[in-house]
Chains A and B, each alone.
Chain A
């Protein structure tokens, strides 16, 4: 089973290439290098070799030392300083600076070490606050991001700026993906700090265990596009191998598969067999009501790609959480 966390891993060996990954564990900068000698299959078989704990992010020297040691030909760059709404609001400077350093270190080392391709990871939360919907790949820089996480948002946007500049000055085709709401095993299930689905899963698990009602924040009417981490991982590999553009690509189910929070809550309730009351606390904010992203570009390339049905994906995730409750990040 592939290892996934609040950002997700994809790893494997592609013929003679080493896929080098950067992963951040919360706020500490430790790098795990995952290399597998197994050929990739659709099931994404994994083998994790003992990693080296080494500081990468904020230090250019340490980043370069890692590249020197492992000489990757390709990089999937997932490492970032991330956090929930409230931490972002308090620490915009740290989110800006640390992420700019991480990104510059990885992209510059990749360039210096002649890495053929880097696929970085953006997010729909970095798009302009005032915008029309659906959002698409051309709109990232069309206005300021939301005030609460502008540090993180600008740092991520600058990955795209640096990719374009690397292409313009050196012909490098480094690119980035833009997932919508990701969920799956190995997520960060912290209720205060985490995202909506892992938060729901954790809360439902506890409600069932303690025989209390499930309290859902908000009205349940907000709409989201969810993408299962395993589907995202498969798409990441396609981007690494086949997607040739420098402009980023949105990886998401289509607009037609947008779901309400209530729908998601029902799926979680069903998956965990929760039979108690579900209460929607409308005093809590819904967040943005809709942030529909267009996946037209993805569909142009992969018209037949099949996403895992939502309920099945939720069931798998809930089963994993129950089986791994003690060690899950929360």
Chain B
């Protein structure tokens, strides 16, 4: 490339080759006081038809429930020719640190990012440590979004949650309602930090035209979850408790009346949808990824599926002295259905059986 002033630019090409490409200068641009300029280029590919070519996708939080599901879906045909997928875990980089985040981006040079990393925890830890949940997650999110911007990442898909929505609200909730009031008092630190991903995305779009976005799953479950009974979520908690009850020949104690209603989404279905969002979903406003309202299930339905999944034959006792949590937190998946009217979710009982089988086979190494 020759610039008008007579400087010769030597482009260091990566392994991409394409008829046309867009060069994005990274912070390492330096100009020697001679006639040549050395550039370290981070290439973003554009094919002749305007679409983005082979991608390098960095998945933060890559070793978690969703990260592992994405890894499996990519391996089993969801990935495309020439794509590189990098699954980052906290062992490799502490994303609370701007320097470590920058080092990871420099090393992997992603064109796309799926941002799943977060400080998460159960109800009681959130209640005790709202400051840590707020600060650590704000730092993680700012580091990832800011480095993505700086390194010319074309698209970032972050992960929100229905638990960040306003505490006082009407149902069903939809994507427009996220900021319409204060979140629940027990986890406002986590909730605000997640909401601010959406604020950051909108500001990046308004100021730089970047279309970074986010998804909002409902209750996820699947292999590689956190099955800790105290600290985990309802499905993995039930699975672990039923496994132990069967093993020890004891009754299964379920917290609450069993009447609370939830929408569950299998991690592999979520992973398939994540890939669709990464490639096709073009809005900045987030999108709820969930089964529809008509597929809302009671906790008792979930218990029955787990009991069947393990072949548990003992007694099931509902401890009504324990709280049900919210009786209903129905989310509207109309936007998803508008885009993907034919998407088929894995039947619930089958998904639960697969997860139970995985847990039984991997009990020793499962996170609990």
Which residues of the other chain, B, contact A164 by a CB distance below 8 angstroms? 130, 188
In contact, B200 and A93 (Cβ under 8 angstroms): yes
Chain A facing B: main interface SS: helix
Q: How far is the CA of A161 from the CA of B137 in the complex (A)?
A: 14
Docked complex: B96-155 residues within 8 A CB-CB of A: 128-132, 134-135, 138, 142, 146
Q: Which of A165-173, A220-228, A269-277, A321-329 contacts B (4 or more CB under 8 A)?
A: A165-173
In contact, A104 and B206 (Cβ under 8 angstroms): no
B-side interface size class: 20 to 34
Check A97 for interface membership: any CB of B closer than 8 A. yes
In contact, B207 and A143 (Cβ under 8 angstroms): no
* Given A93-B208, A168-B131, A143 and B180 contact (CB-CB distance below 8 Å): yes
Q: How far is the CA of A100 from the CA of B199 in the complex (A)?
A: 12
* From B146, B179, B188, B203, contact of A161 by CB (8 A): B188
In contact, B181 and A142 (Cβ under 8 angstroms): yes
* Given A92-B207, A93-B204, A166-B131, A104 and B138 contact (CB-CB distance below 8 Å): yes
In contact, A100 and B138 (Cβ under 8 angstroms): yes
* From A94, A95, A165, contact of B130 by CB (8 A): A165
In the complex, how many residues of chain A place their beta carbon closer than 8 angstroms to a beta carbon of chain B?
27
Check B348 for interface membership: any CB of A closer than 8 A. no
Check A154 for interface membership: any CB of B closer than 8 A. yes
Check B182 for interface membership: any CB of A closer than 8 A. yes
Docked complex: A215-243 residues within 8 A CB-CB of B: none
Check B86 for interface membership: any CB of A closer than 8 A. no
In contact, A158 and B179 (Cβ under 8 angstroms): no
Docked complex: A127-170 residues within 8 A CB-CB of B: 141-144, 150-151, 154, 158, 161-162, 164-166, 168-170
Per-position 1/0 for A80-122, Cβ under 8 A of B = 0000000000111111110010001000100000000000000
In contact, B130 and A150 (Cβ under 8 angstroms): no
* From A91, A154, A166, contact of B207 by CB (8 A): A91
In contact, A96 and B199 (Cβ under 8 angstroms): yes
* Given A141-B181, A144-B180, A150 and B138 contact (CB-CB distance below 8 Å): no
B127's nearest neighbour on chain A, judged by CB, is: A168
In contact, A150 and B199 (Cβ under 8 angstroms): yes
In contact, A141 and B207 (Cβ under 8 angstroms): no
In contact, B142 and A161 (Cβ under 8 angstroms): no
Check B192 for interface membership: any CB of A closer than 8 A. yes
* Given A93-B204, A150-B199, A166-B131, A161 and B189 contact (CB-CB distance below 8 Å): yes
In contact, A151 and B128 (Cβ under 8 angstroms): no
Q: How far is the CA of A100 from the CA of B197 in the complex (A)?
A: 13
**CB<8 Å pairs between A and B, sample of 5:** A92-B202, A93-B200, A144-B180, A150-B203, A166-B131
Query: Taking beta carbons and an 8 Å cutoff, which residues of A are in contact with B?
Result: 90-97, 100, 104, 108, 141-144, 150-151, 154, 158, 161-162, 164-166, 168-170
